[in-house]
């Protein structure tokens, strides 16, 4: 288990505004798992050909994606953006 945490950047209100509750819950579940990976989170998601930097990970079967930034020096995974295509809004 890792000592890493996660947070929204710039803020939860800014990033989650207007998103269905189920989408936000799924993103928070995913970033909790990314934080548990600790320093290995720099290799998860896209781009596949390099480590670090802003990463992307599909959510809810490709109906959107989360952009996140793992920062080893802060031991934190920052959620920077959530893109939701609005399909299956019953989430």
Report the pLDDT value the prediction gives residue 86, as an integer from 0 to 100.
80
Report the pLDDT value the prediction gives residue 87, as an integer from 0 to 100.
66
CA-to-CA distance for 63 and 58, rounded, in angstroms? 8
2 or 67: which carries more pLDDT confidence? 67
Q: What is the pLDDT of residues 32-56, one digit of tens each?
A: 999 999 999 999 999 988 998 999 9
Q: What is the pTM of this model?
A: 0.89
Q: In 3-state terms, what secondary structure has residue 25? A: helix
Q: In 3-state terms, what secondary structure has residue 82? A: strand
Name the least confident of 51-55, 62-66, 70-74, 84-88: 84-88
Domains of the chain as residue ranges with CATH: 5-84 (3.30.2310)
In which band, very low, low, confident or very high, does the pLDDT at 91 lie, cut at 50, 70 and 90?
Answer: very low
Q: Is the pLDDT of residue 89 over 80?
A: no
């Amino acid at each position: 288990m890792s000592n890493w945490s996660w947070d929204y950047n710039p803020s939860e209100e800014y990033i989650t505004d207007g998103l269905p509750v189920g989408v936000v819950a799924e993103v928070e579940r995913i970033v909790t798992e990314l934080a548990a990976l600790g320093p290995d989170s720099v290799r998860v998601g896209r781009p596949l050909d390099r480590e670090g930097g802003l990463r992307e990970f599909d959510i809810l079967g490709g109906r959107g994606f989360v952009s996140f930034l793992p920062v080893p020096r802060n031991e934190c995974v920052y959620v920077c953006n959530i893109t939701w295509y609005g399909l299956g809004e019953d989430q």
